[in-house]
Amino acid sequence: MGFNAFAHRDIFYDHGFSEALDDGWTLSGGAGEGADGMFIVTGDGSGSITFTKTFDTPLAIPNFESVTASLINTGTENVVVKVELTGEDGSKATLTGPVLPDNGELKTDAVVGTEKVEGKIPASVKTLNIVLAGSDATTTCVLSNVLVKSIWNYPTIRANSSVTIEAEDFDEGELGQTYGTQITQNKNRYRKSTPFVDVPAKESFYSNGYAIGNNGENWDKYVLNKPLTVETAKENWGQWYQYTIKVEDNCEANITVMAGCHLGSYQLISVLGNHSSMNIPFEDLGHPFNWVAQYSGAWVLSLDGKNLQTTQTKRIVYGGGGEDVYGPIYMDKDQWISTQIVKDGQTVNNDTTWIYPNLENAQKSYNSWAPMTQAQPHYMKVNLTKGTHVLKFQSLAPQFTFDCMKVETGNAGVDAVSTEAEQKALKVFPNPATDVVSFGEEVEYTVFDLRSGKQVLKGSGTTADVSNIAVGTYAVRTADGRVAKLIKM
């Protein structure tokens, strides 16, 4: 049974203050008043200022990580932030956090975690105290927000299961640690902690409603102040995201990356990205190379630092133009080029996968960012051993959307997904045809005009009546992703 394995952090309590303490908060060790949208507190010289929250219903905090208090402190140095948790059973824990800087009007998010704790953290909290220890009569402070949260929960993978890992739920952490991007503007509509990752507004055709957009910046130039190499090209034109997973059983997995590509964007990059000015000398290659033209819409997926081999063997090559140009190329795979490489004298599949505008998406349109429905997984028989592993998604050049990864598992040593249907060729006869064609099997089919890419016929059965479509060249595509060319006379 399939399910979404959301990497997430539970927020137990999140409250902001303005000109008063509300929501059941009280103050001791000082006096306060509202001014300029803030509640300003002055210490009474007792040695500490304490903000207390009493919960009417005890606050459950499973997998507790920390309390973050957003504070401004002025007038006193060496003020230490402490958190006191009292459970409904009377148990108590005191957590010691950082020293608040005497910084005037600069806000500090003081994170108080479990590094220094006395007592046992209760399973549910009746009373929460934010204590500013070491304050005196010269201390003036502002408490603007209190956040209580859990640890970061990673997706869990089990044998004989189907799991969806959302692209936007990459590991929590700093830029360069769990993700890499050249974006410098706040584009994240989903997650405040990583503003410089492009997560567009919610769309119904994305799993969980969100996806990572663009997947690369600066596609028309090299902006890094360092020599151009393969690695710096990935940094300049691509992006990367890290996904820690917890595997409970030894198993094999088939992994499908759900990604989408829009013809309007693809056309622009195909035309300008192929411009001679984009042939830039690479220091490690020893010759000029057009990275964007080669790797637009491409990615690499690695497991624990080792690139996975893709099942993709061919990709489209396109030099610009509208649907009337792109459609026939897309439908006729004889015009595509091989993505396979020669290694140790043998032709093998690459570790790079390309996405391109397609009709196998929720909107049945080349001009859509909706993810492509993939008949065959991108990665087959990936060995997962019990324990913690890291998947890293590395885009090589824009522009495409990355929605999620679907992970299908079986028992160790057993194929996770049968591929018999993918390997069986689609038969269409007679071909050329004038009225009725046969498939030799029961199928769900869609017929597309190779010139326009538009759907002209759809149905199911062992035959199809094509007598009413115009003379020309068409593509017949089945629900399981097989394609055959049809010539109508």
- 454-456-462-463 Cα dihedral, nearest 10 degrees: -140
Taking the whole predicted model, whether its pTM rises above 0.95 is answered as no
277 Cβ neighbours under 8 A, 6+ residues apart: none
3-state secondary structure at position 265? helix
> Distance between CA atoms of 363 and 9, rounded to whole angstroms?
33
| Helices marked H in 255-340 | 263-272, 291-295, 323-331
> Distance between CA atoms of 213 and 201, rounded to whole angstroms?
10
Q: Whose CA is closest to 93, among 67, 121, 70, 112?
A: 121
For residue 373, give both structure tokens. Answer: 């429905």
Which domains does the chain possess? 9-152 (2.60.120.430), 156-421 (2.60.120.260), 425-488 (2.60.40.10)
Is residue 97 within a helix (H) or strand (E), and if so which, with residue range? strand 92-100
pLDDT value of position 412: 53
pLDDT values of the chain reduced to their tens digit, one per residue, 489 residues: 444 556 777 889 999 998 889 999 999 999 998 888 888 999 999 999 999 999 999 999 988 999 999 999 999 999 999 999 999 999 999 999 999 999 877 889 999 999 999 999 999 999 999 999 999 999 999 999 999 999 888 888 988 888 899 999 999 888 999 999 998 888 888 887 888 899 998 899 998 889 999 998 878 888 999 999 999 999 999 999 999 999 988 999 999 999 999 999 888 886 666 666 778 889 888 888 889 889 999 999 999 999 999 999 999 988 788 899 999 999 998 999 999 998 888 899 999 999 999 999 999 999 999 999 988 999 999 999 999 999 999 999 988 999 999 999 986 544 434 333 344 678 898 888 888 999 888 888 888 876 666 788 998 888 899 989 988 878 888 877 777 888 888
> Distance between CA atoms of 417 and 252, rounded to whole angstroms?
10
